[in-house]
Amino acid sequence: MLVGGVDEAGRGSILGPLVVAGVSVRQSKISKLKQMGVRDSKQLTPQARERLYDEIVSLADHYHIHTIKSTEVDSHVLERGLNRLEARAMAHVISRIKVDEVYVDCCDTNPERYREHIAGHLKSAPTIHSMHHADRLNVVVSAASILAKITRDLEIQKLRKRYRDIGSGYPSDERTMLFIKSWVERKKAPPVFARRSWKPLRLMLETLEQKTLV
């Protein structure tokens, strides 16, 4: 039986993409993931994640990574549809990894509702287990979290090479917010890779508009 895991990286970021990754392995190989040291990507060092990424790709029967641009995230946030966007992305990934059952890290307060959103985008849905903290509780989801995190980090590194000190891309990072503030002050508009629907950037743009009107 093929068991899958799906997780995301970058949901709360104000810069860069949202990445959804999925991994499927035969049930007999799940113990190997544990032996390799696979666990939630947030509990691993960058070096450990990089090492495990290659090992997971080699062990997996199937894997798929889907990247969602900031502009698409914005269009759904403005319609209060971020959870639905993520559910659709997870369905897309599930359809690519060939699974009999799959565990997904649930971003909705209601796991059953989230499961139904995912299933609604699949022609033939496998058994879907929608769980809070699945990246900590299920090792296959942990494997997916590593693939998503590494892919997201590589996208941020590409931006960092071009724009230098952008920080981590999260609104809690002072360097990230200073970068965005400086950009908005100079160009009178946000970077295309920033999520203008996020409150800190919305407030900057509102302040800019008020200054323009004065």
Q: Residue 214's pLDDT is what?
A: 53
pLDDT at 79 > cutoff 80 = no
CATH number at residue 76: 3.30.420.10
Look at residue 154 and give its three-state secondary structure.
helix
Q: Residue 1's pLDDT is what?
A: 93
The answer to whether residues 170 and 154 belong to one domain is no
Q: Residue 204's pLDDT is what?
A: 92
Over residues 14-28, the mean pLDDT reads 97
The verdict on residue 186 lying in a domain is: yes
8 Å CB contact between 32 and 80: no
The verdict on residue 177 lying in a domain is: yes
The verdict on residue 212 lying in a domain is: no
The answer to whether residues 151 and 53 belong to one domain is yes
Q: Residue 213's pLDDT is what?
A: 63
The answer to whether residues 153 and 184 belong to one domain is no
What is the domain extent for residue 18?
Answer: 2-160
Q: Residue 80's pLDDT is what?
A: 81
Q: Residue 125's pLDDT is what?
A: 84
Q: Give the integer Cα–Cα distance in Å for 10 and 17.
A: 7
Q: How far does CA 5 lie from the centroid of its chain?
A: 13
The answer to whether residues 70 and 10 belong to one domain is yes
8 Å CB contact between 16 and 156: yes
Write down the mean pLDDT value for the chain: 94
The verdict on residue 51 lying in a domain is: yes
The answer to whether residues 147 and 173 belong to one domain is no
The answer to whether residues 79 and 34 belong to one domain is yes
CATH number at residue 180: 1.10.10.460
The verdict on residue 214 lying in a domain is: no
Over residues 131-138, the mean pLDDT reads 96
The answer to whether residues 13 and 76 belong to one domain is yes
Over residues 84-96, the mean pLDDT reads 97
Q: How many domains does the chain have?
A: 2
pLDDT at 94 > cutoff 90 = yes
Q: Give the integer Cα–Cα distance in Å for 65 and 52.
A: 16
Higher pLDDT, 143 or 209: 143
